[in-house]
Structure 1
Amino acid sequence: MKDVLFIAYFFSELDGVGALRSRSMVRFLKEKGVRVEVIARDSFGGIGKKNFYVWTILCIFKLLFSKQKNVYISCGPFNHLLPLSLACFMRKKKLIVDFRDPWSINIKTGYGKSGAKISKFKLFVSSRIEQLVYKICKHFIVCTKGMKSYYQKLFGNDIKIRLIMNGYDFDIGEMDKYKDSDIKNNGVLKFVCLGKFAEYDEQKAHQAISKIKDIKNEGYSVHIYFVGTNKEPTLSILKQYKLDDCSTFYPRMPYKEALKIAINCNIGMLIVRNEEIEYGTKVFDYIGLGLPVLDIFDHSNNFYKEFKNILNLSQSFSEIPKDIRSLYSRDRNFTAILHLLH
């Protein structure tokens, strides 16, 4: 049986979507018989919530004296990556690094914000650390094709790069029990956004709301649900299109409770900051729930190419068939990690 020391700063359900991949991975590994010890920001008496760097030092000591031969580091954040990688190198441990978000790419692109000032120093430092960590690690995991392409160019090869996509983390059959046909098919076309919306990109938010306005003008009754979305600047955009009266904002809530709201809607909404590099996590939740995704995406980018069939269904407001939904579960995508531990 394999032993793994799993280091993920964000891990608790209270940490939001940034912790989903790590929690799902740990659950999956344990179900497959792997012994996993988790170090998160709640570890060491919760010191990570108060001082990240003290937490990093404690992680280094834990790693240096741990008996596990396999170390799995889930990023971001990234500031602890280099010292922990060097500790693995010193102790000759098998290091697996998992980038659920890109690091230097985000700095290089201003985190998807047009006109953002790029720090050449931060870009230089992050790129060099990534290159050094790549030399140290056994496997370097990314979660999108765009990330794989970028890091292949940065590293000069893809020998250690492994593509393991995200996926939804719930049982389709169990979630379908919360579906109410009378609500879902009551003559109102219901759109839903789980999490951030205009906070990511106001211009893309305008595109989405404008498209819904066009649908309304075609004679459809529409309602938009935002779950865990900040009211501003989204509400101001809705008012510009006179859609604020047919919109509802819910506060942040546990993951499963949010899914219960979404499953009785018809179309999912999301904004991807960098459509060439990122997929986000919401798209997988929508797929698992059977919701097509409103298409506001550049058809030349990786995101559209990857989810073209899902996006096309939104034109007819058709539910995603179960056989397609099953292809995007986390457990299916995570199977590859078992081979990396051998």
Structure 2
Amino acid sequence: MRRVGGSLSLDNLENYSRDFKDNIQNLIENGYLEEVKVMILEYEKIVEKDFELYSIKGTIALLEGDLKKAEKYFLDGLTEKPYDSDLIYNLAYLYEMRKENISAYRQYKKLFPLAMGDLKEIVSLKITELEKLTQVNDYIERKKVLIIAYIFPPLGGSGVQRTLKFVKYLRDFGWEPVVLTVDEGDFPFTDSTLEKEIPQEVEVIRIRENKDLDIYYVNKLIEMYQTVVGNDVILKEYIELLESNPDKLNDFAFLPDHAIVFAKEVLDKINDLLNFDEIDLIYSTSGPYSDHLIGYFLKKKYEKKWICDFRDEWTNNPYADFDRKSILFKMIESMEINILESCDKILTTTPLAMQNYIRSFDLETNKIETITNGYDEQDFSELLTSNEQGGDKKFRIMHNGIIYMIRTPETFMKAVHNLVLYDLIPREKIEILFTLTENDDHWRDIAEQLGIDDLVDFLGYLNHQESLLYASNADLLLLIVGPGEKNKSVYTGKVFEYLRLGKRILALSPSESLVEALINKTSRGANYEFEDVQGMQEYILSLYKEWETKEFSDLVINEDIRGFERRQLTQKLSDVFTEVIKENN
């Protein structure tokens, strides 16, 4: 283990600080750790912020065997001083203690150009020894892809699944993911259970958003916009909007979304945290769409190939209510145009979204591909499904996902109301489960007005595995896409897990939509227009009668379903990666 720190100059406290650290060093070497911790508390009352305390505290935690706490101290210190040799060495030493050899190797490689004298020789020997290990050699051989994803565990919600599963399986196909994400992001959902799916020793770089925003910071954002918008006329009109509405900066200054603050911090700090000489490819995924601005600037700076993955369309998003005449829309549209032109490959999640991009932005067809969302077979391996029927069991309908904006259950609830009102289904024999909604109280009121509040239960936000368990014990799964022409091109992320669950699906999406085609192709249920209450109630009643006769069983998982398995989809992604880095090389 290295010495815990050098000297630090503090006005009027230099001698005190030096004597304190010399004394601390002696006490640590002689094992007086409790005494040292007391002394540090006293020291911090006099010296408010001393960077070297990260190394001292980390070393104490290391000696006490609290490796998790030690790691946090070392990483926090490196956030403030990324090239501190002692911190890097101690972090590498910690990873070796935990047998995390890939992580140790990365730190020693980072330290080698900084080290001098005996330390350089020690680090060189460490690197040589680690390179003899199979796992480290495999890591070296894999191509490296930088995954830019604001939404990543412990952040939750449906948007996290696509990126997480790609990261989970990319190593199987010769790619090493390096994840760039937010630290303590401003996002409504968290699911810490998802962190266990991140493969061991995958590098996850977490950068915290700046909360101390002022007009100077906004001006720095405008400088970013100037580059990516690339239109002086639009930018001039946008600046005039800001100047004439100084009280509305929070509404107008953060484009394309509030994650632009994260993007700004990334661009300021990433060079200190990542060696781009080792990166073969950049991949960014939205939303938020600010992830693509990071990719845009990093491609220009480091001249790397870059893939943009749109989990949802951007300016053509069916859930976004843009004023297409506004300067804010023109700014975002210009960003999208330049990003689409600058990236090397575009990915969408549906064939119709791909066609929309080709048509709307006059893209060449070979620049864009579709990789759908899917399901992970491992998520279903331990689910316990109840097959009880009749008796006291109720016919259970469940919506597994978030109800928001135009995705509302009102017409479905009217269908249920009609079924129980006319005693077509006894009310004691049916129950409706919803997970998270934008406003539970609103939907409780609607249920009460319809006289079905005793049938409806709101479960709130569930972690991913809990939600699948509930869904696996449902008899009918409700899928709400929403009305309108734009919703024809939408696959909701959960539809593929619905398919794998082997349950009947009641979908509410436009006629001739992708969802309707998918459900028909896989024989998984029925799709109805959003306002087709009569069609919904007839379908529910037919399934209830089948269920009541105890002739109701789960559907077979066939090859049409297995084609949406996440590992197979990741193989498709890896093929795209390989193709892109080979182009023009």
Band the TM-score falls in, shorter-chain normalisation: 0.7 to 0.9
- 2: CA distance between counterparts of 1:54 and 1:299? 40
Per the alignment, do residues 168 and 83 of structure 1 end up closer, same or farther by CA in structure 2, a change over 3 Å counting? closer
Match of 1:75 in 2: 286
- 2: CA distance between counterparts of 1:173 and 1:15? 18
Contact 2:151–2:159 (CA<8 Å) still a contact in 1?
A: yes
Please report how far the alpha carbon of residue 225 of structure 1 lies from its aligned counterpart in structure 2 after TM superposition: 0.9
Match of 2:454 in 1: 245
- 1: CA distance between counterparts of 2:399 and 2:380? 22
Match of 1:284 in 2: 496
Q: Quick one: which of 311, 315, 318 aligns to 2:525? A: 311
Superposition pairs of residues 178-197 of structure 1, within 5 angstroms: 178-182=384-388, 188-197=394-403
Please report how far the alpha carbon of residue 50 of structure 1 lies from its aligned counterpart in structure 2 after TM superposition: 4.4
Q: Quick one: which of 280, 286, 297 aligns to 2:509? A: 297
Please report how far the alpha carbon of residue 267 of structure 1 lies from its aligned counterpart in structure 2 after TM superposition: 1.1
TM-score by length of 2: 0.52
- 1: CA distance between counterparts of 2:323 and 2:390? 44
Per the alignment, do residues 200 and 271 of structure 1 end up closer, same or farther by CA in structure 2, a change over 3 Å counting? farther
Query: For 1:328, what is the secondary structure of its paired residue?
Result: coil
- 1: CA distance between counterparts of 2:310 and 2:391? 39
Match of 1:207 in 2: 411
Per the alignment, do residues 339 and 80 of structure 1 end up closer, same or farther by CA in structure 2, a change over 3 Å counting? closer
Match of 2:76 in 1: none
Please report how far the alpha carbon of residue 45 of structure 1 lies from its aligned counterpart in structure 2 after TM superposition: 5.7
Q: Quick one: which of 322, 338, 342 aligns to 2:574? A: 338
Structure number with larger C-alpha Rg = 2
Per the alignment, do residues 275 and 320 of structure 1 end up closer, same or farther by CA in structure 2, a change over 3 Å counting? farther
Per the alignment, do residues 65 and 154 of structure 1 end up closer, same or farther by CA in structure 2, a change over 3 Å counting? farther
Match of 2:172 in 1: 31
Please report how far the alpha carbon of residue 119 of structure 1 lies from its aligned counterpart in structure 2 after TM superposition: 5.4
Match of 1:17 in 2: 158
- 2: CA distance between counterparts of 1:178 and 1:19? 24
Superposition pairs of residues 100-111 of structure 1, within 5 angstroms: 100-106=311-317, 109=318, 111=320
Match of 2:52 in 1: none
Please report how far the alpha carbon of residue 105 of structure 1 lies from its aligned counterpart in structure 2 after TM superposition: 0.8
Q: Quick one: which of 408, 411, 435 aligns to 1:227? A: 435
Partner deviation per Cα, 1:43-69 (whole Å, 9 max, x = no partner): 766513847445323423526852202
Match of 1:143 in 2: 349
Q: Which amino acid aligns with 1:17?
A: S
Task: Structure 2: give runs of 5+ residues left out of the alignment.
Answer: 1-141, 184-203, 213-258, 528-535, 544-551, 579-585
Query: For 1:181, what is the secondary structure of its paired residue?
Result: coil
Contact 2:399–2:435 (CA<8 Å) still a contact in 1?
A: yes
Please report how far the alpha carbon of residue 304 of structure 1 lies from its aligned counterpart in structure 2 after TM superposition: 1.7
Q: Is 1:159 aligned with 2:366?
A: yes
Please report how far the alpha carbon of residue 71 of structure 1 lies from its aligned counterpart in structure 2 after TM superposition: 0.5
Q: Is 1:125 aligned with 2:361?
A: no
- 1: CA distance between counterparts of 2:390 and 2:374? 24
Contact 1:200–1:271 (CA<8 Å) still a contact in 2?
A: no
- 2: CA distance between counterparts of 1:45 and 1:92? 23
- 2: CA distance between counterparts of 1:105 and 1:185? 49
Per the alignment, do residues 310 and 215 of structure 1 end up closer, same or farther by CA in structure 2, a change over 3 Å counting? farther
Please report how far the alpha carbon of residue 35 of structure 1 lies from its aligned counterpart in structure 2 after TM superposition: 0.9
TM-score by length of 1: 0.86
Contact 1:290–1:321 (CA<8 Å) still a contact in 2?
A: yes
Deviates more, 1:61-70 or 1:281-290: 61-70
Which structure is higher in RCO with an 8 Å CA cutoff and minimum separation 6?
1
Q: Which amino acid aligns with 2:361?
A: F
Please report how far the alpha carbon of residue 183 of structure 1 lies from its aligned counterpart in structure 2 after TM superposition: 6.4
Please report how far the alpha carbon of residue 143 of structure 1 lies from its aligned counterpart in structure 2 after TM superposition: 0.3
Per the alignment, do residues 135 and 201 of structure 1 end up closer, same or farther by CA in structure 2, a change over 3 Å counting? closer
Contact 1:134–1:140 (CA<8 Å) still a contact in 2?
A: yes
Contact 2:346–2:367 (CA<8 Å) still a contact in 1?
A: yes
- 2: CA distance between counterparts of 1:118 and 1:232? 33
Q: Which amino acid aligns with 2:376?
A: D
Q: Which amino acid aligns with 2:525?
A: L
Please report how far the alpha carbon of residue 184 of structure 1 lies from its aligned counterpart in structure 2 after TM superposition: 9.1
Q: Is 1:85 aligned with 2:258?
A: no
Please report how far the alpha carbon of residue 3 of structure 1 lies from its aligned counterpart in structure 2 after TM superposition: 0.8
- 2: CA distance between counterparts of 1:247 and 1:119? 42
Q: Quick one: which of 90, 95, 104 aligns to 2:306? A: 95
- 2: CA distance between counterparts of 1:174 and 1:134? 39
Per the alignment, do residues 49 and 253 of structure 1 end up closer, same or farther by CA in structure 2, a change over 3 Å counting? farther
Partner deviation per Cα, 1:99-124 (whole Å, 9 max, x = no partner): 11211112xx562x6xx755543333
Q: Which amino acid aligns with 2:209?
A: G
Query: For 1:140, what is the secondary structure of its paired residue?
Result: strand
Please report how far the alpha carbon of residue 212 of structure 1 lies from its aligned counterpart in structure 2 after TM superposition: 2.7
Please report how far the alpha carbon of residue 246 of structure 1 lies from its aligned counterpart in structure 2 after TM superposition: 1.0
Percent sequence identity over aligned pairs: 21
- 2: CA distance between counterparts of 1:146 and 1:184? 42
Q: Is 1:62 aligned with 2:270?
A: yes
Please report how far the alpha carbon of residue 262 of structure 1 lies from its aligned counterpart in structure 2 after TM superposition: 1.1
Per the alignment, do residues 184 and 38 of structure 1 end up closer, same or farther by CA in structure 2, a change over 3 Å counting? farther
Please report how far the alpha carbon of residue 96 of structure 1 lies from its aligned counterpart in structure 2 after TM superposition: 0.8
- 2: CA distance between counterparts of 1:297 and 1:26? 31
Count of residues in Structure 1 that have an aligned counterpart in Structure 2: 334
Partner deviation per Cα, 1:240-280 (whole Å, 9 max, x = no partner): 32211011121212100111111000111132244223211
Query: For 1:37, what is the secondary structure of its paired residue?
Result: strand
Please report how far the alpha carbon of residue 299 of structure 1 lies from its aligned counterpart in structure 2 after TM superposition: 1.5
Q: Quick one: which of 487, 490, 496 aligns to 1:275? A: 487
- 2: CA distance between counterparts of 1:118 and 1:41? 30
Match of 1:329 in 2: 565
Partner deviation per Cα, 1:304-329 (whole Å, 9 max, x = no partner): 22333323399454633211432332
Deviates more, 1:40-49 or 1:280-289: 40-49
- 2: CA distance between counterparts of 1:162 and 1:252? 33
Per the alignment, do residues 17 and 54 of structure 1 end up closer, same or farther by CA in structure 2, a change over 3 Å counting? same
Per the alignment, do residues 219 and 251 of structure 1 end up closer, same or farther by CA in structure 2, a change over 3 Å counting? closer
Q: Which amino acid aligns with 2:406?
A: D
RMSD of aligned alpha carbons = 2.8
- 2: CA distance between counterparts of 1:184 and 1:31? 45
- 2: CA distance between counterparts of 1:279 and 1:167? 10
Q: Which amino acid aligns with 2:411?
A: Q
Per the alignment, do residues 187 and 226 of structure 1 end up closer, same or farther by CA in structure 2, a change over 3 Å counting? same
